[in-house]
Amino acid sequence: MAALPQISMKPEVHEYLRNVFMNKELLMEVEECEAERRFLALLSCLSRPPSFTCVRVSTHLAPRHEVQQRLQQYLLQQQSECSYPGGVSAFPLAHPLLADVLLLPVVGPRPVCVLDSEVIVGAQCGNAVLRGAHVFSPGILSTPKFLKTGDAVSVFSDVEGKCTKGAKEFKGKKVFLGNGVSRVDRAQIFCTDGPVRGLGIQMTEPVYSSPSFDGILPEFVFLQNLPSVLVSHVLGPKPGERILDMCAAPGGKTTHIAALIGNKGEVVALDKISWKVDKIRALAQTLKLDCIRPFCFNSIRAVSSQADNTADGPPFLQESFDRVLLDAPCSGLGQRPNMAVTWSLKEICSYQPLQRKLLHTAVQLLKRGGVLVYSTCTVTLAENEEQVAWALRTFPCLSLQAQEPHLGAEGMLGAGLAYDQRLLLQRFHPEPALSGVADRDTIGFFIAKFTKT
Ligand code: SAM
């Protein structure tokens, strides 16, 4: 039996995060040993998948209960084809507070015995396997010398990116993901023209299992982490409004906003990377949402300096939007499962100034009386509570607002925010699911809601 995965990171990053979770302000209220326990629990949770897989239902196309039944049919089929004990859960649960969410329990960690034959996959591929995927050939880094189609193998993730492509064995740090059966020969994976596409290892005994949604009801269900679904509800868009999503690709929240306004109004979606903007377009088409207008544009430059600007694309005149979402580019340290943070401390710290520039644009483009939602999928203070404190100091026109629904914990101590202010924030700390409380065992996430007066 193999040990459970642990997240690894550079010592400087570990030290930085430890200081965040054991900061002076926090230690005035929480015992040092309790703060340390929470930090270690966070590190352990980050390396595991959340205990529920969350899907958003296209309630603009069909009622949730109908989609729930149709999804169950597909999942029962998958369950019947599943060879390992415990299988996958086939019964989607309706979220009690979010009317467009279905949850599926993730089964695991299950005890699986390690085999002699080892296949090593890259960290990203490994994370996907922990969320229920099979191994696709391009993700494979190392196999035994004589691997043949049909061989039973144990699959490991190269968490530190040290394994050489084509290696015949690997002695570095690796995390066990489960057992599977090879669907390819070694020669097909490491041939000189590049690996064959498609299935490489079919997982038969994954340590964690959740159903595959690949190609299932694509216009009706969209895989999205629970706090991400919450963001568009908190934004509270109304039909007929003009809404800006400043960092929109691949369009998860953009399409949700468009669905919430029943496709009536205008959702402008900006992203600075052109191939990602194509993804927004494709998703909008799949979900049959034509009120979305995607543009490839750097949002930092999205405010027009011309008073007589009449163009309907970016840049825009000041105070052009009823609501603005800034789902900011961030260090992503809340993502789960994540067995290795490969970034340097310098990279992690580079996001705060970028987010501040984007916040400047957001405030300028928002109408008076309008709503601004700021969110990240990271756990640092610098990108979350410190940004809120900075925004309140820098823009006296902003005030923090209560969020509906409120499922997360309050904002963290350490950025000088008052208790009342912290209560208005939602912070999702990855933490083990308590019995019956599925909502908190999510990715790490942060949401703040402001209005502009
Ligand atoms: N909101 C998206 C969703 O729910 O699907 C996820 C957004 S992701 C956290 C951040 C995005 O910001 C990336 O797609 C990145 O390309 C984009 N981005 C980064 N800097 C930007 C900028 N200056 N202007 C516009 N987009 C930017």
**Per-10-residue mean pLDDT for the chain, 453 residues long?**
68 97 97 94 91 95 97 87 69 95 91 95 92 92 96 94 94 93 94 80 91 88 97 98 98 98 98 98 98 98 78 92 98 93 96 98 98 98 98 98 96 98 95 60 96 97
- Determine the straight-line distance between the first and last CA of the chain, rounded to whole angstroms: 59
State residue 435's pLDDT score: 46
Active site annotation includes 82: no
State residue 170's pLDDT score: 95
Pocket test for ligand 1, best of 271, 287, 359 (most atoms within 8 A of CB): 271
Quick check: 397 and 411 in contact, CB under 8 A? no
Joined together, the tokens standing for residue 65 give 């209960």
Report how far residue 349's alpha carbon sits from residue 355's, in angstroms, rounded to the nearest whole number.
11
Q: Evaluate: CB of 251 within 6 angstroms of ligand 1.
A: yes
Q: Which atom of ligand 1 is nearest to the CA of 249?
A: 14
> Of all residues in the chain, what percent carry a pLDDT higher than 90?
80
Closest CA to 3 of 297, 300, 207: 207
Q: Which atom of ligand 1 is nearest to the CA of 252?
A: 5
Q: Evaluate: CB of 298 within 6 angstroms of ligand 1.
A: yes
pTM of the predicted model as reported, rounded to 2 decimal places = 0.94
Closest CA to 332 of 197, 186, 444, 184: 444
Pairing of the two strands 152-158 and 118-122: parallel
Catalytic residue among 45, 125, 330, 377: 377
Q: Which atom of ligand 1 is nearest to the CA of 246?
A: 25
Joined together, the tokens standing for residue 272 give 């600075």
State residue 439's pLDDT score: 60
Report how far residue 366's alpha carbon sits from residue 385's, in angstroms, rounded to the nearest whole number.
21
Q: Evaluate: CB of 279 within 6 angstroms of ligand 1.
A: no
Q: Evaluate: CB of 270 within 6 angstroms of ligand 1.
A: yes
Report how far residue 314's alpha carbon sits from residue 164's, in angstroms, rounded to the nearest whole number.
45
| CATH number listed for the domain at residues 118-206 | 2.30.130.10
Give residue 56 CA to ligand 1 midpoint distance, Å. 20
Report how far residue 193's alpha carbon sits from residue 138's, in angstroms, rounded to the nearest whole number.
12
Closest CA to 224 of 87, 125, 104: 104
Q: Which atom of ligand 1 is nearest to the CA of 299?
A: 24
Q: What is the pLDDT of residues 174-212, one digit of tens each?
A: 999 999 999 999 999 998 776 678 899 999 999 998 887
Angle value at C-alpha 56, between 89 and 330, nearest 5 degrees: 105
Closest CA to 394 of 372, 411, 378, 424: 372
Class of domain 225-452: alpha beta
State residue 440's pLDDT score: 75
Ranges of each domain in the chain: 52-105, 118-206, 225-452
Q: Evaluate: CB of 327 within 6 angstroms of ligand 1.
A: yes
Closest CA to 229 of 249, 258, 257: 257
State residue 308's pLDDT score: 53
Q: Evaluate: CB of 108 within 6 angstroms of ligand 1.
A: no
